[in-house]
Structure 1
Amino acid sequence: MSDKRRVKVKLSLSGPDRNQVSLMLRKGTSSVRVIKRAMVLNLFDQGIASPEISKAVGVTPETARRIAQNYISEGLNRALFDKQRPGHKRIFSDKERNEIIALVCSDPPDGFQRWTVRLLAEEAVNRKIVKSIGRETIRVILQDHEFKPWRKKNVVRSIVK
């Protein structure tokens, strides 16, 4: 085993950062993850070492040191919040999604009064827009476009008595 000595992290919050951290801790309206990170920064600011901080907050000493290093190198926002992540790549292209929306805007097949999510999925495959697609994916596409085909657009009706 190597004899690595851990360097004690010395952290001093700036005045505005200290105020923001203490406000977050008083309010307690942020997520648990953010509150724990704020607690870590607050305890480092008080001169407490990472092993004690880890026991008090419920994180590992490495996590406490990483939060402090993020504050030192990139500031308060980076210490409290994660970087934006790229997310999962879309399975269907914008062209395919737009063709499905165009399909919804068209008249339903003979024998049907309106489009259902299941019917849209079947028709998208039949028209070779996509190889296969599920009902939930159709629903998400419609939701992403804030598309509500069952609503009448720009219709104002008075109450008839």
Structure 2
Amino acid sequence: MGLFERQFFWNLYVYTEVLMDKKYLVRLTDEERAICEATIKMGTGKSEKLRRAIVLLKADVDGPAWHDTKISEAVGCRRQTVENVRQAFVLEGFEGALVRKKRAMPPTPKMLDGMAEAKLIAMRLGKPPAGFGHWTLRLLADQMVELQIVDSISPETVRQTLKKTA
């Protein structure tokens, strides 16, 4: 997106952004600009939404029209983030650029379904095996594998499941 030029300044090379036409230009309507300003003024909500509102306002061609590098320094994010917000505005619209879209699927599938969670809770509430005074997370995990409820499970997954249902 941005082209950088290497300039020699004293004993340092300084990289400066060379102005060139952006592929994704932000042109906010008066209503969208008002929403961004209201979001910033309220100062409540997710910091990511505030950051995106500031980026949209500063990148507005009809407004300040700052360069990506200047916006990223002012907002405290990477230049790529500014470019991504610009691209989201053009491709997905104002709402898509302002609010981050939720994942359709989690990055890793759940280890335990409802039936396996129910069996884990029932096991936890029952008596521990002979020779043990109480259930430990590792003992519960080993018992779930032994009973072939799951192929493998970590004590941390057992802890999170029990914490979630407690």
User: What secondary structure is seen at the aligned counterpart in 1 of 2:150?
Assistant: coil
Q: Of 93, 104, 123, which aligns to 2:124?
A: 104
How far apart in 1 are the matches of 2:117 and 2:56? 45
5+ residue gaps, structure 1: 148-161
Distance 1:125 1:70, change over 3 A: closer
Q: CA deviation at 1:138?
A: 0.9
Amino acid at match of 1:141: T
Q: CA deviation at 1:79?
A: 0.6
CA RMSD of aligned residues (A): 3.1
2:25 is the alignment partner of 1:6: no
Q: For 2:135, what is the secondary structure of its paired residue?
A: coil
List, as ranges, runs of 4+ consecutive aligned residues in structure 1 with deviation greater than 6 Å: none
Would you say the 8 A contact 1:50–1:65 is kept in 2? no
2:137 matches 1:117: yes
How far apart, in 1, do the equivalents of 2:34 and 2:86 lie? Answer: 17
* Residue 66 (str. 1) matches residue 81 (str. 2): no
- Contiguous gaps of at least 5 residues in structure 2: 4-19
- Whether 2:55 is the aligned partner of 1:40: answer yes
Pick closer, same or farther for the CA change 1:128–1:26 going to 2, 3 Å: same
- Which has the larger strand fraction? 2
How far residue 22 of structure 1 moved from its aligned partner, in angstroms, is 1.0
Alignment TM-score, normalising by the size of structure 2: 0.64
| 8 Å contact kept, 1:11–1:47 | no
- 1:21–1:42 CA contact under 8 A, matched in 2: yes
* Closer, same or farther: CA 94–59 of 1 in aligned 2, 3 Å: same
CA distance in 2, matches of 1:116, 1:77: 47
Matched with 1:79 is 97
3-state SS, counterpart of residue 75 of structure 1: helix
The residue identity in structure 1 corresponding to 2:41 is R
2:35 is matched with: 20
Q: CA deviation at 1:61?
A: 5.1
Whole-angstrom distance in 1 between the partners of 2:133 and 2:102: 44
Cα separation, 2, equivalents of 1:105 and 1:18: 56
Question: Identity percentage over the alignment?
Answer: 30
